[in-house]
A and B are shown apart, each in its own frame.
Chain A
């Protein structure tokens, strides 16, 4: 039986970070990242926040946050409901990468169903500036059998 990793969880993002390590040459081709991404997952019962700090070609740290105030001051937030995150991850897993309507940019551009925000516009712009690398980071979900919180 295949072992699954729960989404959202710190372990799930750590699994993507380990895959990023294995895939370093591809990330080197894309270029270095210097940004902090906060993933916000809303469920009916609660809001979950995970901070992923990227430096160079690696994830420097993954933390679960109690509130957005605990995040590094310079960050951007990608937020969506759990069902949307689930749809995106399942799409990536089904196609070994997102189809045309499940890329990060596609989902966030109209601010619905996903939204990118940040303390200032340059932080939000970091999401655009590192978009290829961030997309590749999430594309690694194709290799992470995932269970979803109910």
Chain B
């Protein structure tokens, strides 16, 4: 008696068993071997920096459709999709302009080669016992940054699974960003715990901005708010972190994070540029979300748990917090200047619409 009597299994399993019976008799299909003739014979030349996405995504495989394929499947761009392939309803972002940036592939290549880890790439053995006020300032700064980094991973994750597979350059880049952000929150949390201190106070002001990023009505406005605005401001904070670092450990952490953050900003700027070139009438939507972001960041910048630890580090200790606050007053103006310049590249003239001061006249306010 056969181990597999007809009717014992579900129809799907029966189909599989039938196919195996044919194969056991030497009857193979092999139609796949002749599929997709237009995509066969692709020539690729690795460059001195290795085999990059842009080295393989050329010719037939370099054609990115303006409207993503309508088959709605997970099939990769450039393969032959059999007509019976089931369409899936989850890929709802099918327009190239919704997600594309001309540098997405380049940034993905860069991201995967520039990976690092918080386990072995930070010279933890160089941590030193720091004065209590300095250690607390470092730990508070790291607490706030850990909080920020959670949302920076959540935002691309929220949209990634909706993006049509034809835009794999963007999907790959966003996947690399999710891991970058995981590494950041890991390394900042680790630093807070690594030197006898711990996590300190969360930031209510921060929550408002972070929520706006996750609640943005569409991907492009979310990206403008996070990649350009939020990450642009954080990039400056990372530069400041390196500047204020009391040991080689923080220096290394901030330098590594700075590089990652600059990639994310570069994607955001080029995506917004691509989008606005095709949808100039939608600039107002971007302005509106930036209105919200600017209000939130202003509150956040001046929140004690954000500004005071940096002032302590800049002053060299709690006793000189006022000196440190004056020393770091230029930071905000730098953040705003770079933000406006990035938007200018994207084709958005934000300066007349700016809802926050371009600089904080610290000395005038103190007078």
Contact = CB atoms under 8 A, between A and B. Distances in A.
Nearest to A32: B49
A81 interface: no
A125 B265 contact: yes
Interface stretch (B75-83, B181-189, B237-245): B237-245
Contacts, number: 82
Interface string A24-47: 000010111010000000000000
B113 A31 contact: yes
A105 B345 contact: no
A102 B169 CA distance: 38
B262 A128 contact: yes
A4 interface: no
Nearest to B247: A100
Nearest to B52: A32
A110 B242 contact: no
A57 B49 CA distance: 7
Interface in A53-79: 55-58
B255 A135 contact: yes
Interface string B227-260: 0000000010001101101111001000110110
Nearest to A99: B248
Interface residues of A, number: 28
A105 B242 contact: yes
B114 A120 contact: no
Given A56-B47, A105-B243, A109-B243, A128 B235 contact: yes
A132 B243 CA distance: 14
B40 interface: no
Contacts of B247: 100
A32 B49 CA distance: 7
A95 B334 CA distance: 31
B338 interface: yes
Contacts of B344: 120-121
A105 B259 CA distance: 12
27 contacts: A30-B114, A31-B110, A31-B113, A31-B114, A32-B49, A32-B110, A55-B49, A100-B248, A103-B242, A103-B251, A103-B255, A106-B243, A109-B240, A109-B243, A120-B344, A121-B269, A121-B341, A121-B342, A122-B266, A125-B235, A125-B262, A128-B235, A128-B262, A129-B259, A129-B262, A131-B258, A132-B259
B263 interface: yes
Give chain B's interface secondary structure class.
helix
Interface string B100-135: 000000100110011000000000000000000000
Nearest to B265: A125
A120 B341 contact: yes
B9 interface: no
Nearest to A58: B48
A130 interface: yes
A125 B232 CA distance: 10
A34 B47 CA distance: 13
B255 A132 contact: yes
Nearest to A128: B262
B19 to A, nearest CB: 46
Given A122-B345, A132-B256, A106 B242 contact: yes
Given A100-B248, A106-B243, 20 more contacts: A30-B114, A31-B110, A56-B49, A100-B245, A100-B247, A105-B242, A105-B258, A109-B239, A109-B243, A121-B338, A121-B342, A121-B344, A122-B266, A125-B235, A125-B265, A126-B262, A128-B239, A128-B258, A129-B110, A130-B259
